[in-house]
Structure 1
């Protein structure tokens, strides 16, 4: 599957590590932006935890659980 992304054959491990680091940096950037937009501005509001933090955490947990089930049981 990873060959479709154009990873070079001779340096597969280095290319894979570089690709993974790039993906992780992208994820951290999205999380940092979300934190700055929501957490810093609205973090002290009384409704923030009930309406933003907990539902977002539950959604992330449900997506993670779905992926685990999809990749282990349904595979």
Structure 2
């Protein structure tokens, strides 16, 4: 029961989070009704893309999780790259 709620919560959060990326739609010459549909379609597309990515990557990560490659390359290097990108975007936006 709790897992189902977490999935719904994650989906809703992702959908709301996608609205932040959808600000590019403001520049398009669309009527209000078309903009709502475009925004909803954009967000659903983002969510579906993330689900496809997870469906492909998660099984591979499960297979590799006990290997040295996973711990050194995927876990540590992946974390470092994620932190570096997040910091770059953070400092880019505050300046």
TM-score, length of structure 1 as denominator length:
0.68
Alignment match of 2:37 (pick from 14, 18, 22): 14
Partner of 1:65: 87
The ranges of structure 1 where at least 4 consecutive aligned residues each deviate by more than 6 angstroms after the TM superposition are none
Residues matched between the structures, number: 69
TM-score, length of structure 2 as denominator length:
0.57
Which structure has the highest helix share of the two?
2
Gaps of 5+ in 2: 1-23
| 60 and 32 in structure 1: CA distance in 2 versus 1, 3 angstrom threshold | farther
CA distance in 2, matches of 1:65, 1:32: 27
1:13 positional shift: 2.3
Alignment match of 1:44 (pick from 56, 60, 66): 66
Q: CA RMSD in A?
A: 2.1
Deviations 1:42-74 (A, max 9, x none): 11224421222111121112112211221222x
CA distance in 2, matches of 1:31, 1:68: 25
Partner of 1:54: 76
